[in-house]
Structure 1
Amino acid sequence: MNFFISFSISFSIISILEGFHLVSTETLIESSCKTFAQSDPNIDYGFCTSSMKGATAGGRATLPALGAISLRLVQDNLTDTRRHVREILNNSSMLSPYSRRCLHDCLELFSDAVSGVEDAARDYDAKRFDDANVKMSAVMDAPTTCEDGFKEGPAAVASPLSKRNRDAFELSAIALSIINVVRRGPG
């Protein structure tokens, strides 16, 4: 059975159970993350479940609510990473000119990405899922472009942002997966 049919059936059952409050947020997160991890090599089940469970803090959530939560996670991650880049730039006199230039490029990328995820969240809330999808796809490029900048120049250096970039990329992949499922609806 292909992924979309399988997930649509699972989503339909979960949606019905959600309506009767028979499925917990934890179950919803686990089943969603399992499906996302099976269909997208960019999503790790453990990362997905721990990120989403940590952000819901035991409250009740529907899949559309998890979409809003996932967008907030991306925004928080990118905002914190932008702050971290500023700290590195302000507190590291030992940076090479090449590393400094890469970090400035990343700072610009993350600033644009924060605006992009804010726009995507507004589109998501307004049920303009196609627009949210396009904006999140652009946001997802920022950490990859940042990371590539350190590797591809004439003086390639190790990125001090590798883990943060991986996390931002994966959180964006999770948000995109949820947006796409919510956009298709339960049936």
Structure 2
Amino acid sequence: MKHFFPFILLSFSIFFLSFNATAAQTLIRETCQACCQRDPNLKFAFCTTSLDAAPASRCASLRGLGMIAIRLVRFNVTDARCHIKQLLKDKKIDAHVKPYLRDCLELYSDAIPSVKEAMKCYNSKKYLDANVQMSYVMDAATTCEDGFQEMKDGVSPLTKRNNDTFGLSAIALSIMHMLQTGSNY
């Protein structure tokens, strides 16, 4: 009997962990389905992959997923800003591209405090204020990308980063809307 107890405990632990992982996957999928319904520009695979990549998402509530999305936006914005700085130092970058990169650097630099403010507002459950700040971040990514369309060839070296910032912001905004309205899906 004393050899049997550890087996039962191990079996129960495996069952509980697999149940918890399944519940987390379900919450992420359902949340992403709702987010994609609210914003048709958002791709389901991007949403699920982004949220699932955060280790804390496995035990997060809807509110927790919202904070994870905001943190992902912050990391993305900070990384994009760093990347733009590197591009501006690169002597191989066409001189015609650099003014647009400088505009994007300013937009992303201004977006960083907005993300931080969105986090503070979100933590205080001031979803409307958090929404305003996160919308600014989303607009910064769109404005950055649109700027490159003014160039002759219209090719942006930041398309993926801008799209990621836009998508992550859309996820955060959708979750805030769900929390604010009390509608989970």
Q: TM-score range by the shorter chain?
A: 0.7 to 0.9
Structure-1 separation of matches of 2:74 and 2:96? 27
TM-score by length of 2: 0.83
Q: How many angstroms does 1:58 deviate by? A: 5.8
Structure 1: which amino acid aligns with 2:27? L
Structure 2: which amino acid aligns with 1:24? A
Structure 1: gaps of 5 or more residues: 1-20
Structure-1 separation of matches of 2:178 and 2:84? 33
Structure-1 separation of matches of 2:58 and 2:171? 19
Aligned to 2:143: 145
Q: Is the contact between residue 150 and residue 157 of structure 1 (CA under 8 Å) also seen in structure 2?
A: yes
Identity of aligned residues (%): 46
TM-score by length of 1: 0.82
Q: How many angstroms does 1:22 deviate by? A: 10
Structure 1 position 64 matched with structure 2 position 58: no
Q: Is the contact between residue 56 and residue 69 of structure 1 (CA under 8 Å) also seen in structure 2?
A: no
Aligned to 2:4: none
Structure-1 separation of matches of 2:22 and 2:182? 18
Structure 1: which amino acid aligns with 2:182? G
Structure-1 separation of matches of 2:34 and 2:22? 16
User: Of 170, 175, 184, which residue of structure 1 is paired with 2:172?
Assistant: 175
CA RMSD of aligned residues (A): 1.9
Structure-1 separation of matches of 2:22 and 2:157? 41
Q: How many angstroms does 1:186 deviate by? A: 5.1
Q: SS at 1:98's partner residue?
A: coil
Q: Is the contact between residue 25 and residue 59 of structure 1 (CA under 8 Å) also seen in structure 2?
A: yes
Aligned to 1:113: 111
Structure-1 separation of matches of 2:57 and 2:178? 23
Q: Deviations over 1:112-144 (max 9, x none)?
A: 111111100100001111100111111110111
Q: Deviations over 1:135-185 (max 9, x none)?
A: 1111110111001111124x4541100011111101100000001111122
Structure with larger Rg: 2
Structure-2 separation of matches of 1:68 and 1:152? 35
Structure 1: which amino acid aligns with 2:49? S
Aligned to 1:26: 25
Structure-2 separation of matches of 1:28 and 1:89? 41
Structure-1 separation of matches of 2:174 and 2:149? 28
Structure 1 position 37 matched with structure 2 position 36: yes
Q: How many angstroms does 1:32 deviate by? A: 0.8
Number of residue pairs the alignment of both structures matches: 165
Structure-1 separation of matches of 2:173 and 2:55? 18
Q: SS at 2:82's partner residue?
A: helix
Q: Is the contact between residue 117 and residue 135 of structure 1 (CA under 8 Å) also seen in structure 2?
A: yes
Structure 2: gaps of 5 or more residues: 1-19
Q: Is the contact between residue 57 and residue 68 of structure 2 (CA under 8 Å) also seen in structure 1?
A: no
Q: SS at 1:152's partner residue?
A: coil
